[in-house]
Amino acid sequence: MPIIQVENLVKKFGNITAVDDISFEVEEGTIFGFLGPNGAGKTTTINILCTLLSPTSGRTLIAGHDCISESSKVRKSIGIVFQDTTLDKDLTAYENLIFHAYLYNIPKAEMKERVDNVMKFVDLYNRKEDLVKKFSGGMKRRLEVARGLIHRPRVLFLDEPTLGLDPQSRTNLWEFITTLPEKHNVTIFMTTHYMEEAEVCDRIAVIDNGKIIAIDSPSELKKIVGGDVVSITTTDNIHVRKEIETVFKMSVSEKNDELYMTCSRGDTCIPELIRTLGERVLSVRIQRPTLNDVFLKLTGKTIREEETSGSDSVRESIRAYRRRH
Amino acid sequence: MEFNAVYVIVAREFKKFIREKSRLFSAIARPLLWLFIVGAGISSLVPNQTGVPYTQFIFPGIIGMTILFSSMFSSISIIWDKEFGFMKEILVAPVSRFSIVIGKALSGTIVSTIQALIILALFPFLGFKLGLLQILEIILICVSLSFCISAFGIVLATFYDSYESFSVIMNFIIMPMFFLSGAMYPVKLLPDILRILAKLNPLTYGIDIMKHALFPDASGNMGPDISIMTSTAVIIFTSILFVVIAGKLFERKG
């Protein structure tokens, strides 16, 4: 049985449809990614799965429990790292985790040991007595992941876990997150709008305007793009271009004195090109498709463009709607 | 109800209260200013006809004020918890909303009673001679009034989610509640409309019972004017009402 089941989920805020009839399943022990621009409906979906929001319609189950009628059982089976920090900055790291242990009714005898263990796991054990306000962004995020693991959840939600972190902390955090399913026997459900980060997932759902537009493994999704982009510079672009088009039957485009072509496998395509063109080739470049290319192919826009356009206003109007109700 | 959750919500608030010395200091300074400066100033205007000097008359009111401010501030910290995200950590936990409300109300009760007792300890300096029974009676009143006001504060806090609302609550709720509670002047001397508003204020009843306990023999304008039974009933009833409403409001989802 899948650990997360979502069937025809819809969430409306007034006349804005934040989540528009989505369905998917997540298998236990995998890393599942929700990928899409800001305002696509990722956080709304997480909030529904975490029992913080009730859906307009549709059904969501976690570990077989209904998120509405069995919310208490669902809450016991999940751990969450929200987009914004939810630590008490005026308490120490240790106090924050002990607070959590009491909330989740961990037996007193095990409490200290469990808290110490997760703190060692995230490498913050030697800072346990420090106030959280002294922690860096990356340390706070690690502490929140540790906190989310104390009650041994079956699913750990990570909502934009690397938002606002510097590149190095980001890399460290991902290395650490990928070890979680094995070491803690937990399924990861994460959202991100960074394409590169979604690559650690076993399966990815690409979400845009509240709808899932593709769902598959990263490598399968990349096949949508059609292969690698090979670009070459030559001594004589005009003739070489014609030659490639007739010999290889590939369409070639030219930009900034470079010739571009898409081949299903760049690694075998390049030797053939060089063999045919010989010394006329001056340089060769190969670009593997990224999930950004996938998003571009699926939606006709890049994820960054989307960020600055309508999505922020969607987020604002949802916020305004929630304030009024 | 989850006792571990209630316990840890209270423990957190208490720990932060102990840690923030400046908060305790300013919480104690405010009633002292009113008691010894405003009180002394006004007492020179008020003739002592009824056997209760003005500086003694305002003592229950100032204890009530201490409770009003510290209970309200404690409950309003929920708005801070929402603003800084910590509330989400509590809301996604497998804990009933009722336990959260009880935990928060008890936090306010403890923090607020401690402060009220510090002010109460000043009674010998104001010329009161209190027996042990009287002191116990007043402590009991402080605990129940603190719980009542804390629960009311939680109801308020559910309506706001940013700290900008703090000054609204301060100016339009806390200050009017203080001025319309019989703390500084007897409710019975107020114009009709203000007297009706004062009767809707749970703080009025708390301060009135304290008057019964502090100067049981006083009559006339300076003495208590609501029966102990009525005041007790109002405080118990409104406490339950506020807890139930707060629980329901916490349960509500978007």
* Residue of A237, A204, A236 lying closest to A223 (CA atoms): A204
Q: Write out pLDDT tens, residues B61-89.
A: 999 999 999 999 999 999 999 988 899 99
Alpha helices in A104-159 (DSSP H): 108-121, 137-149
Sheet hosting strand A211-216, strand order edge to edge: A78-81, A155-159, A187-192, A31-35, A203-208, A211-216
Residue B4: pLDDT over 80? yes
- Alpha helices of chain A — where are they, by DSSP H? 42-49, 71-77, 93-103, 108-121, 137-149, 167-184, 195-198, 218-223, 237-247, 266-277, 291-299, 303-308, 311-324
Alpha-carbon gap, residue B95 to A30, rounded angstroms: 28
Contact across the interface for A103 and B5, Cβ inside 8 Å: yes
Give residue-wise pLDDT tens across range A94-119.
999 999 999 999 999 999 999 999 99
A89 has a chain B CB within 8 A of its CB: yes
Strands across the sheet with A4-13, in order?
A: A16-26, A4-13, A57-62, A65-66
Report which residue type is found at B121. A
Cα(B68)–Cα(B148) distance, rounded to whole angstroms?
10
Q: A80 vs B92: CB contact, 8 Å cut-off? A: yes
Residues of chain A contacting residue B79, judged by C-beta atoms under 8 Å apart: none
Contacts of A110 in chain B (CB under 8 A): none
Out of A116-130, A216-230, A258-272, B20-34, the most confident range is A116-130
Q: How many C-beta atoms surround the C-beta of residue B245 within 10 A?
A: 16
For chain B, the first-to-last Cα distance in angstroms comes to 24
Chain B CA closest to residue A90: B16
Query: Using one digit for the tens of pLDDT, what is the confidence trace for B208-229?
Result: 999 999 988 877 788 888 999 9
**Looking at residue A121, what is its pLDDT?**
87
Indicate the pTM of the whole model: 0.85
User: Which pLDDT score, from 0 to 100, does residue A78 have?
Assistant: 96
Q: Strand pairing partners for A255?
A: A258
What residue type is assigned to position B108 of the chain?
A: G
Better-scored residue on pLDDT, A151 or A36: A151
Name the residue with higher pLDDT: A296 or A22. Answer: A22
More reliable by pLDDT, A249 or A13: A13
Tokens, residue A308: 């600055």
Mode of pairing for the β-strands spanning A187-192 and A31-35: parallel
- Kindly tell me if the per-residue pLDDT of B254 is higher than 50: no
How many Cβ pairs within 8 Å bridge chains A and B?
74
- Residues of A in Cβ contact (< 8 Å) with B8: 98-99, 102-103
Across-strand partners of A284? A232
Judging contacts by C-beta atoms under 8 Å, the chain B residues touching residue A85 are 84-85
> Which chain B residues are Cβ-neighbours of A103 within 8 angstroms?
4-5, 8, 89-90, 93-95
Q: Residue A173: is it exposed, middle or buried by C-beta count within 10 angstroms (0-12/13-18/19+)?
A: buried
Q: Does A105 touch chain B (CB under 8 A)?
A: yes
Contact in structure between A269 and A298 (CB atoms under 8 Å): no
A99 inside 8 A of chain B by CB = yes
Phi and psi torsions of A285, nearest 5°:
-135, 140
Query: Inter-chain contact A85–B161, Cβ cutoff 8 Å?
Result: no
Does A68 or A311 have the greater pLDDT score?
A: A68
| Residue A306 in this model has a pLDDT that exceeds 70 | no
Band (A23; pLDDT cuts 50, 70, 90): very high
Q: Residue A126 half-sphere exposure, CB side, CA atoms within 13 Å? A: 1
Contacts with A154 from chain B: Cβ below 8 Å: none
Contact yes or no for B92 and A52 at CB 8 A: yes
Q: Which residue has the higher pLDDT, A236 or B175?
A: B175
A76 touches chain B (CB under 8 A): yes
Q: State the amino acid at position B141 in one-letter form.
A: I
Instruction: Give the position of tokens 């496998």.
Output: A265
- Partner-chain contact A52 B253, CB within 8 Å: yes
Q: Which of B4, B8, B85 sits opposite A86 (nearest CB)?
A: B85
User: What distance in Å separates the CA atoms of residue A229 and residue A287, rounded to the nearest whole number?
Assistant: 5
Residue of B6, B18, B92 to mutate, testing the A interface (most A Cβ within 10 Å of its Cβ)? B92
Q: Mean pLDDT check: name the lowest of A83-92, A111-120, A226-235.
A: A226-235
Number of separate domains in chain B: 1
Average pLDDT of the segment spanning A55-80: 94
Residue of A180 and B252 predicted with greater confidence = A180
Residue-level pLDDT at A305? 55
In whole angstroms, give the CA distance from residue A74 to residue A78: 6
| Residue A100 φ/ψ, nearest 5 degrees | -60, -45
Domain boundaries, chain A: 4-222, 227-288
Extract the tokens encoding A285.
């470049």
- For the cut 60, the answer to whether the pLDDT of residue A36 exceeds it is yes
Q: Quickly name the fold that domain A4-222 has.
A: Rossmann fold (3.40.50)
Least confident of A161-165, A258-262, B142-146: A161-165
Which pLDDT score, from 0 to 100, does residue A225 have? 77
Number of Cβ within 10 Å of residue B146's Cβ equals 29
Query: What H or E segment, with its residue span, contains residue B211?
Result: helix B202-214
Fold of A227-288: Alpha-Beta Plaits (3.30.70)
Q: Each residue of B109-148: pLDDT tens digit?
A: 999 999 999 999 999 999 899 999 999 999 999 999 999 9
Whether residue A68 lies within 8 A of chain B, CB to CB, comes out as no
Rounded to whole angstroms, the Cα distance separating A100 from A322 reads 27
Of residues A236 and A323, the one with the higher pLDDT is A236
Chain B positions in Cβ-Cβ contact with residue A147 (cut-off 8 Å): 89
A314-321 long-range contacts (CB < 8 A, ≥24 apart) are A314/A16, A314/A18, A314/A39, A315/A38, A315/A39, A317/A13, A317/A14, A317/A16, A318/A13, A318/A16, A318/A18, A318/A44, A321/A13, A321/A14, A321/A16
Q: Is A81 on the interface with B (CB under 8 A)?
A: no
* A52 or B242, which is more confident: B242
How many residues does the structure list for chain B? 254
Residues of A in contact with B5 (CB under 8 A): 102-103, 105
Contact B92/A54, CB-based, under 8 Å?
no
Q: What value does the mean pLDDT of chain A take?
A: 87
C-beta atoms of B93 and A91 within 8 A: no
Q: What is the 3-state secondary structure (H, E, C) of A208-255?
A: ECCEEEEEECHHHHHHCCCCEEEEEEECCHHHHHHHHHHHCCCCCEEE
Strand partners, A13: A16
Residue A313, pLDDT > 70, answer no
Which residue has tokens 């040991």? A113
* The token pair that represents B186 in the structure block: 């007897």
Give CA separation, B170 vs A324, B11, B22, B113, B173, in Å: 22, 26, 19, 20, 6
Two tokens, residue B136: 């116990």
Host domain of residue B166: 3-251
Average pLDDT over residues A30-55: 90
DSSP letter, residue A261: E
Q: Do B8 and A102 touch (CB under 8 A)?
A: yes
Nearest to A53 among B84, B161, B253 (CB): B253
Its sign, for the CA torsion A288, A292, A295, A296, is negative
B254 Cβ contact list (under 8 Å, min separation 6)? A13, A53, A54, A322, A325
- Alpha carbon distance B18, B65 (integer Å): 21
Structure tokens belonging to residue A121: 């796991």
The pLDDT of residue A221 is: 87
Using 50, 70 and 90 to split pLDDT, how confident is the model at A171?
A: confident
**For the residues A244-271, what does the mean pLDDT come to?**
84
* Section B36-50 average pLDDT: 83
pLDDT of residue A45: 94
Summarised one tens digit per residue, pLDDT across range A128-138 is 999 999 999 88
pLDDT exceeds 70 at position A319: no
Q: Which of A69-78, A112-121, B157-166 has the lowest mean pLDDT?
A: B157-166
Q: Percent of chain A having pLDDT more than 90?
A: 48
Interchain contact A110–B (C-beta under 8 A):
no
